[in-house]
A and B are shown apart, each in its own frame.
Chain A
Amino acid sequence: MEVRTTRFGVIDIAEDRVINFEKGVLGFPERTRYCLLEPGEDACFFWLQSLDDPNLAFVVTDPTLFVPEYSVPIRGEQMQQLALDKLEDAQVFVIVNKVDQELTGNLQGPLVINTVTRNGEQMILAEKRWETRHPLMKVGAQTRATA
């Protein structure tokens, strides 16, 4: 299907690439369909583009690239909601923001995606250890993520 986006123009998205966030992302409950765009081969950052709102897109990343010990606890109920049969099917992303000269990741509100059914949900972690603005890296110079 063809999808209009503000940043990328019209893009062609195969149906089987659509990720459904049934409950939306917090603050955007109406925007439920997304796709993941990869800027380059070995990119560390991706775009999560809304298919419902041309203007809505988030930069997301795999948090383990920056915070190896990070993990997301998930309850049985939540697994059911995501139709997750096994944990290995899950992919976790965090939304990236830029605060001053630093890239931060929202580790308190990770996006968990069932890679098989492509259902996604933004979780809210109770653990205070993870913040909405967890520093990932400085920007300005070059942006290679060195694990």
Chain B
Amino acid sequence: MLVLSRQRDETIMIGDDIEISVVDIRGDKVRLGITAPTRIAVHRKEVYEAIKRENAEAAQMSGPDVDAIAGNLRPGSNGAAPVRRVSSVIASGNSLGNGSANAGSGTAHPTTGQRNGAPENGTHTVPVRTSVPGKLAGGKDTA
């Protein structure tokens, strides 16, 4: 690993378009400012790791655990017919509004080491649909 010493307000360049600056140093906490093209994802590593771990664990759910969730989740209970269905696919309308147009923010997203990831500039909000895909596709509403 390359180790560099930097003082406050000094910057490191990674490649041509990624800059990391030391914004503040207080005790054992260092605040970093990161400027990178939006195609580069910037995350706190522990968050990334936590999601990875959670995925791995969720993938282990099986047997009795799954039965506990919903008896009818057991595909076998549907007979031989495999439960298969398309997703989301679902391309049926049912938009939730919020068609907020692309705010078209700049090319870089300065991600400072804020503790509370405030919404970055130029983000959209994907509304999650209010009904399950099955209902969307079938249009049969079971209350």
Q: Which residues of A contact B (CB under 8 A)?
A: 7-14, 16-17, 19, 25-28, 35-47, 56-59, 62-65, 68, 70-77, 79, 81, 86-93, 95-98, 103, 106, 108-109, 112-113, 115-116, 118, 122, 124-128, 132-133, 139-140, 143
Nearest CB on A from B99, distance (A)? 6
Do B132 and A88 have beta carbons less than 8 Å apart? no
Contact of A39 with B51 at beta-carbon distance under 8 Å, contacts A91-B133, A126-B117, A128-B116 already known = no
B58 lies within 8 A of A95 (CB)? yes
CA separation between A137 and B65, bound complex, in Å? Answer: 14
- Let me know if A109 and B51 touch, CB within 8 A: yes
Q: List 30 A-B contacts (CB under 8 A).
A: A7-B62, A7-B75, A11-B84, A26-B48, A26-B52, A39-B83, A40-B72, A41-B142, A43-B73, A56-B59, A57-B59, A58-B58, A62-B131, A71-B128, A72-B125, A73-B119, A73-B120, A87-B124, A91-B128, A92-B126, A95-B55, A96-B61, A97-B54, A97-B57, A98-B65, A115-B91, A124-B47, A125-B117, A128-B116, A143-B70
Interface of B, helix, strand, loop or mixed by DSSP: loop
Closest A residue by C-beta to B96: A88
Measured CB to CB, the residues of B under 8 A from A are 38-39, 41, 43, 47-48, 50-59, 61-62, 65-66, 68-75, 78, 80, 82-91, 93-96, 98-100, 102-105, 109, 115-117, 119-120, 122-135, 138, 140, 142
* Bound Cα distance A132, B46 (Å): 12
B55 CB contact (under 8 Å) in A27, A46, A62, A72? A27
Instruction: Tell me, rounded to whole Å, the shortest Cβ–Cβ distance linking A128 to chain B.
Output: 6
With known contacts A59-B66, A115-B90, A38–B122 Cβ distance under 8 A: no
- Residues of B within 8 Å of A36, CB to CB, are 85-89, 133
From DSSP, what is the main secondary structure of chain A's interface residues?
mixed
State A23–B62 Cα separation when bound (angstroms).
25
Could you tell me the distance between the alpha carbons of A47 and B116 in the complex, rounded to whole angstroms? 33
Please determine whether B126 and A96 come into contact, CB atoms closer than 8 angstroms.
no
Residues of B within 8 A of A35 (CB): 84, 86-87
Once bound together, how far apart are the Cα atoms of A43 and B100, in whole Å? 31
Q: How far is the CA of A38 from the CA of B139 in the complex (A)?
A: 15
Residues of A within 8 A of B129 (CB): 62, 64, 91-92
